[in-house]
Amino acid sequence: MKILRLILGDQLNIQHSWFSEINYNHIYVMMEVRQETDYVHHHIQKVLGIFAAMRSFSETLTKMGHQVIYIKISDPKNEQEIPANLKFLANKFQCSKIEYMEPDEYRLDQQLKSLSNDMGIPSMVYSTEHFMTPRDGFNKVFGARKNFLMETFYRRMRKDFNILMDKDKPIGGVWNLDLENRKKLPPDLIIPEPLEFNIDVCDIYHEIISAGVDTIGKVDFRKFQWPINREQSLHLVDYFCENALKYFGTYQDALTEKSWSIFHARSSFSLNVKLISPLETVEKVINYWQDNRETISLNQVEGFVRQIIGWREYMRCLYWNQMPEFGHKNFFGHTRKLPSWFWTGQTKMKCLHHTISQSLEFAYAHHIQRLMITGNFMLLTGIHPDEADLWYLGIYIDAFEWVEITNTRGMSQYADGGLTATKPYISSASYIDKMGSYCKSCIYNKAAKTGNLSCPFNSLYWNFIDLNREKLISNPRMTMMYKVWDNIDKDKQVDTLKQAQHYLENLELL
């Protein structure tokens, strides 16, 4: 009897054990469905990238000799939902079983768990064989504890996988070199051009448009820049090593209008659709560093390793430990909707204009742009976490809920009340100016808290501090800010709060 094996669009792991041998009783199915294109307004580059990578993967499997059924978005018999398509195919081929890999998103996990009952045939689930930790990885590290710390998790990962270790000690004697990775870009530093693959995805683009899929953002569909297969993804990592690793760590937090990629690897899309694995990626980078230790310092490679085996794996374990409740957390009770210019970039605030415009053009912004520009503004203005989640999940090519919602609702918006982050990530204009050059060409005055052209971040920052005193005063990392606020002249406090209220009432005009 035939077995139907489902491969989701973010499960493109050609090294999976499923594909190690040819079995003519196994029918692999891949599908482009409106169920997945429509649950949020995705960036056109995200939809194109996933579809192009899926089609390339399907071709690879077919060339290897596997039986593959590929349902395009434009196929007339496409039911546009995963269960409906599976039911049709299972009946057509008289399949005795359906097999699938663990979905990375809770909603899909719940949907596929019901397959067996809904279809009347057994189903079996397999690991994706991608991540370095299982879904319940927190149990091993934290046991029954309810408080989690990424640094603890990260050190355990380094030990368990012998990464950047000298026996039982970290290479260099220090686990975390983040303090060395917070510098502003020097004006004369040469930034490498980003590697772009210039793939013609015209046919897929027109199929998406003809199907009526509603997307956001821009794309040059004759020169699609992102990798869509394993070879290109590995090439992108090599390019990062040879051209950007030397300065990555030091300037990973830097903000600039000179480059949309700076020294970042941009490997997250390839990782998140599983074209490459986290372990092979960090090993490739570490091996290059070991061969070039005279010119590349330890903080450059440690910063990269921490993002992947620390933060990325940590966020996935947090997701599966806390869902579905995590998706409803709203610690501050925020209710505002996003200003409409979050979908256009048409704001006078230079930092937000540039970050949003870049995101719409490239489906990409690095972590500080996401955290300390857009996320910072959302938190200070009391945007509902649902609004934040939908925006981040839609606009970035690497955004999948397991990694998006933990970063957005957790770290960025502090909606979980401190489960993910030890303090709210908020700042006034001073941090933004410290890390980049946005403020120099902005109409708003970075130094002013009040006045028509005072930087909105300044008064909104102190308004947030004042408004949330009861919730945050006991946080030891917030104590200093409350002391600073309490020492400000009372009249100046009143003026600052009035200025913040004016901005909150006129977000559309900023």
Q: What are the residues whose beta carbons fall under 8 Å from the beta carbon of 158, sequence distance 6 or more?
A: 164, 165, 170, 175, 309
Q: What is the pLDDT of residues 302-346, one digit of tens each?
A: 999 999 999 999 999 999 999 999 999 999 999 999 999 999 999
What CA–CA distance (Å, rounded) separates 178 from 300?
10
Q: Angle at CA 157, nearest 5°, toward 152 and 161? A: 155
pLDDT of residue 266: 97
Cβ neighbors of 417 (< 8 A, separation 6 or more) are: 329, 331, 471
Strand ranges in 360-498 using DSSP code E only, listed in sequence order: none
Instruction: Please name the residue that has the structure tokens 């060395």.
Output: 180
- Determine the Cα–Cα distance for residues 337 and 216; give it in Å rounded to an integer: 18
Structure tokens at 25: 């009783």
Question: What are 422's two structure tokens?
Answer: 């030890």
pLDDT value of position 510: 96
Q: Cα angle vertex 243, ends 440, 233, to 5°?
A: 110
Q: Are strands 26-31 and 2-6 parallel, antiparallel or unpaired?
A: parallel
Hey, is 158 helix, strand or coil?
A: helix
Note every long-range contact of 84-87, with CB atoms under 8 Å and residues 24 or more positions apart, other chains counting: 85/29, 85/31, 85/33, 86/4, 86/6, 86/29, 86/115, 86/119, 87/118, 87/119
* pLDDT number for residue 147: 81
Among residues 128, 132, 152, 125, the alpha carbon closest in space to that of 141 is found at 152
95-101 β-sheet, strand order: 67-71, 26-31, 2-6, 95-101, 123-126
The burial class, CB within 10 Å (0-12 / 13-18 / 19+), for 77 is: exposed
pLDDT of the residue at 472: 96
450-453 long-range contacts, Cβ below 8 Å, gap at least 24? Answer: 450/492, 450/495, 450/496, 450/498, 450/499, 451/499
Tell me what pLDDT residue 170 has: 96
Helix, strand, or coil (residue 445):
strand
Predicted confidence at residue 122, as pLDDT, reads: 93
DSSP 88-116: HHHHHTTEEEEEEEPPSSHHHHHHHHTHH
Q: What was the pLDDT predicted at 110?
A: 95
pLDDT of residue 95: 94
DSSP 410: I
User: Interhelix angle for 479-486 vs 456-467, to 10°?
Assistant: 100
pLDDT of residue 117: 81
Residue 123 confidence (pLDDT)? 93
Question: Residue 323 belongs to what H/E stretch?
Answer: none
Structure tokens at 269: 């899309």
What is the distance between the alpha carbons of residues 138 and 153, in angstroms, rounded to a whole number? 8
At 119 the pLDDT is 83
The partner residues of 3 in beta bridges, in order of sequence, read: 26, 97
**326 with 497: CB under 8 angstroms?**
no
Task: For 83-136, write each residue's pLDDT tens digit.
Answer: 999 999 999 999 999 999 999 999 999 999 988 788 889 999 999 999 999 999
pLDDT digit of tens for each residue in the chain (510 aa)? 899 999 999 999 999 999 999 999 999 999 999 999 999 999 999 999 999 999 999 999 999 999 999 999 999 999 999 999 999 999 999 999 999 999 999 999 999 998 878 888 999 999 999 999 999 999 888 887 878 899 999 999 999 999 999 999 999 999 999 888 889 999 999 999 999 999 999 999 999 999 999 999 999 999 999 999 999 999 999 999 999 999 999 999 999 999 999 999 999 999 999 999 999 999 999 999 999 999 999 999 999 999 999 999 999 999 999 999 999 999 999 999 999 999 999 999 999 999 999 999 999 999 999 999 999 999 999 999 999 999 999 999 999 999 999 999 999 999 999 999 999 999 999 999 999 999 999 999 999 999 999 999 999 999 999 999 999 999 999 999 999 999 999 999 999 999 999 999 999 999
Rounded-to-integer distance, Cα 82 and Cα 79, Å:
8
In this structure, are residues 227 and 271 in contact, taking their beta carbons and an 8 Å threshold? no
Q: What is the pLDDT of residue 378?
A: 98
Q: Is the dihedral of CA 426, 431, 435, 440 positive or negative?
A: positive
| DSSP state, residue 478 | T
* HSE-CB for 113 with a 13 A CA cutoff: 9
Distances (CA, A) of 136 to 16, 41, 131: 21, 30, 12
